[in-house]
Structure 1
């Protein structure tokens, strides 16, 4: 049986050319098949749509009203299909990424640049937040991808680690003069510490590791920005726990100094995550490919 949409397409074709035979030729159908389709539609609507004459057909008043709406609807469907093809070809669309300010600044920008160079018509929308906040909006559908601090324990998410990172403690010149030997973790926590706020995944990772060693921390300062950690450590307010890979400029210029520990904090990673239950959009798929290819 012909679908309702196909019946309407045949109806529009006949209405445009005012002939069953011409419509049949345009649609690559037989004339009896076109005639049967129009009669089926008329039966379903219980309305005569065409006046039949030896010279062809013309729309009835009811047919003219229906044609106005059906023709507009089919045009919209065609436009929608064209848009889908554009999305597949990445000639239009939007890529929505959830990411923290720090990861965006120190990790993500080169990959955004590479993607934009290949697909300049795709727009970016960035949503900032902590790892927990970003994972929440990812599951709500507000973003396509999230670039987060791992580890993440969420069975709804597909996780792809990208780079390893290391949590270290840094200090300014004054503290460096006071600390001449590697510190144990027990000695470290007796220092005035500057850490990220408790809801940060980075903070939780370090805190959980120290707790696994029976060591509880009580920082002097809790901040929401990695850059602020670096700045406060630089002016000798205390000793800051930072990501080594995101602190290279300060370390290289001698503005900050890494404190040597007798026991290093195990490395972790930054990666991309997305919902297991929802297929990635073409733009998201290409962005993940760029991430993977540039990291090989």
Structure 2
């Protein structure tokens, strides 16, 4: 089962918690964003934002790191693969797991967005 490490989870004596993997999210955009420079939170959130639906772990994490500042994303979807496809055709910026986007970044079909939004 996939379980997020919520506050207090490791303190529960009835649970044994084993970290299987750590996921690092990154902000990415399509090739039109190549050379676009640094995006502070205000600039980033003025771009079209592509997100997973509310209630998903990734969306909850995005809302936390942006302090809920993105009120109306361009698209809210249920598939990371579709989000990645939309990013690749320059439909907007998304926050996706690094392991999902790594190959596309190496190919140059998407680029990492440099931002001041802390993504631990």
TM-score, normalised via structure 1 length? 0.36
- Alpha-carbon separation, structure 2, partners of 1:206 and 1:151: 16
Question: How many matched pairs?
Answer: 115
**Over alpha carbons, which structure has the higher Rg?**
1
Aligned-pair CA distance for 1:159: 2.9
Deviations 1:198-221 (A, max 9, x none): 11111101211221xxx5113111
1:1-296 aligned within 5 A: 146-148=1-3, 150-152=4-6, 157-176=15-34, 179=36, 181-211=37-67, 216-217=69-70, 218-266=72-120
Aligned-pair CA distance for 1:157: 5.0
The unaligned stretches of length 5 or more in structure 1 are 1-145, 267-296
CA contact (8 A) 2:48 2:74 kept: yes
Runs of 4 or more off by more than 6 Å in structure 1? none
- Alpha-carbon separation, structure 2, partners of 1:188 and 1:253: 23
CA contact (8 A) 2:105 2:112 kept: yes
- Greater relative CO, 1 or 2 (CA 8 Å, sep 6+): 2
Secondary structure at the residue paired with 1:170? strand
Q: Give 1:66's aligned residue.
A: none
Secondary structure at the residue paired with 1:164? coil
TM-score, normalised via structure 2 length? 0.83
- The answer to which structure has the higher strand fraction is 1
- Alpha-carbon separation, structure 2, partners of 1:252 and 1:159: 34
